């Protein structure tokens, strides 16, 4: 079981789009991926049609009631299992604090998922709070989407600094990949951000795949669909298929 967390300390960079289409791309390969929505905005949950009315029917109850993850999981029409989010997740930092036992709760909870053979992908909010820290401590790979703008790059650099600060706790370098999203080769800023990424991060930690600016990617969540179901022949579908294949080829997804 591979655990991938999708995180950047800036919103609007394509975290949920990437989580959604990674999960769907893995399902296309015949796997049964397991998605966890740790963003209180619950955009991923809504796209998959998971709308828990009560917080106790969401991943919130895993953190607060220690309810097993499979108890709140739902099987969606995309073939993806999702643990949905709820607005009450905004209270986790106040209720739980950030002790070691708190930020490793998801890591140990996932170890109980022996029956889950497929990969796990975790969507996060842009704040480095309890939810995002749980995702980082639980993951085998941190995937950092960087939309082709300067503020997104600054957010990714903040992530890199945070990871350096956490490495004494990890006792290793956490595997990570920086993914350029909303790329448009016709725009000067897109090329400049790509060049700055090459200087800011290790070459081997930057994805070769770039996710191009694409109408189908923007439209598909509004239709409650991943891009493969919404527009399977689109550039967006091809790009996310290439990303899945790149991660598989690198041994980061089984």
**Helix residue ranges per DSSP H, 139-212:** 150-170, 188-200
Which pLDDT belongs to residue 51?
85
Q: Is the pTM for the entire model greater than 0.85?
A: yes
Per-residue pLDDT at 241 = 96
Tens-level pLDDT at each residue, the chain (254 residues): 799 999 999 989 999 999 999 999 999 988 889 999 999 999 999 999 888 989 999 999 999 999 999 899 988 877 789 999 999 999 999 999 888 899 999 999 998 766 466 799 999 999 999 999 999 999 999 999 999 999 999 999 999 999 999 999 988 999 999 999 999 989 999 999 999 999 999 999 999 999 999 999 999 998 999 999 999 999 999 999 999 999 999 999 87
Answer for the pair 240, 25: CB distance below 8 angstroms, yes or no.
Answer: yes
Contacts of residue 129, defined as CB under 8 A and 6 or more positions apart, other chains included, come to: 92, 93, 98
Task: Note whether 1 and 111 are within 8 A (CB).
Answer: no
Q: What is residue 97's predicted lDDT score, i.e. its pLDDT? A: 84
Contact 6, 156 (CB under 8 A): no
pLDDT score recorded for residue 147: 96
* The pLDDT value given to residue 117: 65
- Confidence (pLDDT) at 188: 93
The pLDDT score that the predictor gives to residue 79 is 76
Which token pair is 75? 């099987």
Instruction: Please tell me the predicted confidence (pLDDT) of residue 190.
Output: 95
* pLDDT for residue 126: 92
The number of beta carbons lying within 10 Å of the beta carbon of residue 126 is 18
What are the chain's domains?
A: 3-241 (3.40.50.300)
pLDDT at res. 98: 82
Q: What is the pLDDT of residue 151?
A: 95
What is the distance in angstroms between the CA of the first residue and the CA of the last residue of the chain?
8
Q: Determine the Cα angle at 54 with ends 218 and 26, to 5°.
A: 40
* DSSP 8-state symbol, 127: S
Q: Say what the pLDDT of residue 116 is.
A: 60
Tokens found for residue 96: 């739980």
């Amino acid at each position: 079981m591979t655990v991938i967390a999708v995180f950047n300390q800036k919103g609007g960079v394509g975290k949920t789009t990437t989580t959604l289409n990674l999960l769907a791309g893995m399902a296309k390969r015949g796997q049964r991926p397991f998605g966890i929505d740790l963003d209180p905005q619950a955009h991923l949950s809504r796209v998959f049609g998971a709308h828990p009315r009560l917080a106790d029917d969401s991943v919130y109850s895993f953190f607060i009631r220690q309810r097993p993850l499979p108890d709140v999981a739902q099987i969606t029409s995309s073939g993806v299992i999702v643990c949905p989010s709820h607005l009450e997740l905004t209270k986790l930092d106040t209720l739980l604090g950030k002790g070691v036992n708190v930020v490793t709760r998801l890591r140990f909870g996932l170890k109980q998922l022996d029956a889950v053979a497929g990969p796990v992908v975790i969507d996060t909010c842009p704040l480095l709070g309890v939810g995002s820290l749980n995702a980082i401590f639980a993951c085998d790979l941190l995937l950092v989407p960087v939309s082709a703008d300067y503020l997104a790059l600054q957010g990714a650099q903040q992530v890199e600094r945070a990871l350096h600060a956490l490495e004494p706790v990890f006792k290793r370098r956490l595997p990570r990949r920086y993914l350029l999203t909303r790329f448009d080769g016709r725009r000067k800023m897109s090329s400049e951000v790509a060049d700055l990424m090459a200087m800011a991060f290790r070459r081997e930690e930057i994805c070769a795949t770039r996710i191009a600016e694409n109408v189908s990617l923007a439209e598909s969540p509004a239709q409650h669909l991943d891009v493969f179901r919404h527009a399977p022949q689109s550039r967006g579908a091809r790009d996310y298929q290439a990303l899945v294949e790149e991660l598989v080829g690198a041994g980061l997804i089984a």
